[in-house]
Amino acid sequence: MGSFIYNNQNYTFEQIKTGNWFVKDEYIDQTLAFCQDWLNGKEEFELQTSGSTGTPKKITISRSQMEVSASATQSFFKIELGSKILVCLNTQMIGGKMMLVRGMNWDADIYLTPPEMNPLQNFDKAQKFDFCAMVPLQVEACLADKDAREKLPNIKILIIGGAPSSADLIDRIIQSEINAYQTYGMTETVSHVALAKIEGIELVYRILPDVSIGTDHENRLWVEAPMAKEKRLQTNDLVQLIDMHSFKWIGRADFTINSGGIKIQAESLEAQLGKYINPIYGDVSFFVIGQRDQKLGEKVVLFVETSSKEEKKAQELLTELKGKLQKYHCPKNIYFLPEFVKTDSGKINRTKTSQICF
């Protein structure tokens, strides 16, 4: 039988089932309250979507959906019962809750830590984990810290989700020889339905057992999965199907920028920009979006999360981009903000962030 470990306190599943935990703080109370409901057989759970591409909404997820998802992940990675897992995501969101469900269903030793930027800072270098999920910002923070960087390889399987990993992050993961996978999924599919091993810049996603995929006439992915309520879930993700079991993700259809009749995928363009932005501004967050333009219909504009607004740096970047990118792909303006608007799960809310400047 597995257990929960928090601040060097161990709790058996039976203790959590009866509500018998000693530490009292908001994080542990909210986290273990969900686990108590799960261990006592609760059948339905109300969750909120992230809101990164639209208005957040509440949806009801069934126990069976979550169990199917946990089982599919276990089968994909061949994870044994009694493994050690690290839960460092926000446990109020689907990603964190599914880590808890996996741990309980796998009879695992579940190490809990609040969703900090560097979740490995409270563990020593001898601590090993069989499985862990992080968002890209957490992986970046760990790679930037010498001690944490040395601990990352102690995670046997690391899955990264919540947002796409940048080309620069992917390269650093490969150089650090970390066994990591990028996830593809959404709240409606109860976490991921496909995973891509990070072993090259171009990621190839492979679906979980019993999942089916295809595309509509606009090359938007549809998913049929036993962990989803809908028989067929039509996504707004543009993909390149490789075969009936794998695909390459291109970007969100609703992030497509139509500039002068040229369709530009925001995420594809962003993957090219990091190598030009980072030497000037450092390891900062950024994104591109379409801004209404009388002549072009939409023009590409760049948002950079930094307090530095030096005109010289901005001109240096624009000059560099003009010499490297196609005409319509080159940002026409750069907006600088000290902090982007984020969703509860840590994703950049592009719409609300851009509204600050537009």
Tell me the pLDDT of the chain (358 aa) as tens digits.
Answer: 799 999 989 999 999 999 988 877 899 999 999 999 999 999 999 887 665 445 567 889 999 999 999 999 999 999 999 999 999 999 998 999 999 999 999 999 999 999 999 999 989 999 999 999 999 989 999 999 999 999 999 999 999 998 888 888 999 999 999 999 999 998 889 999 999 999 988 899 999 999 999 999 999 999 999 999 889 999 999 999 999 999 999 988 889 999 988 989 999 899 889 889 989 998 899 999 999 988 889 999 999 999 887 788 889 999 999 999 998 999 999 999 999 998 876 778 998 999 998 8
Which residues, other chains included, contact 48 with Cβ-Cβ below 8 Å and sequence gap of 6+? 56, 57, 58, 59, 93, 187, 344
Task: Decide if 29 contacts 20 (C-beta within 8 A).
Answer: no
What distance in Å separates the CA atoms of residue 59 and residue 228, rounded to the nearest whole number?
12
- Per-residue burial over 88-107, b = 16 or more CB atoms within 10 Å of its CB, e = otherwise: bbbbbbbbbbbbbbbbbbbe
Q: What domains does the chain contain, in order, with CATH numbers?
A: 3-253 (3.40.50.12780), 260-355 (3.30.300.30)
Among residues 233, 238, 276, the alpha carbon closest in space to that of 256 is found at 238
Task: Decide if 236 contacts 250 (C-beta within 8 A).
Answer: no
Record the pTM: 0.84
Cβ neighbours of 124 (radius 10 Å): 9
Task: Decide if 317 contacts 280 (C-beta within 8 A).
Answer: yes
CA 159 vs. chain centroid, Å, equals 9
Among residues 342, 354, 270, 281, the alpha carbon closest in space to that of 52 is found at 342
Helix (H, G, I), strand (E, B) or coil at 227: coil
CA distances from 93 to 56, 61, 66, 100, 173 (A): 12, 12, 13, 11, 25
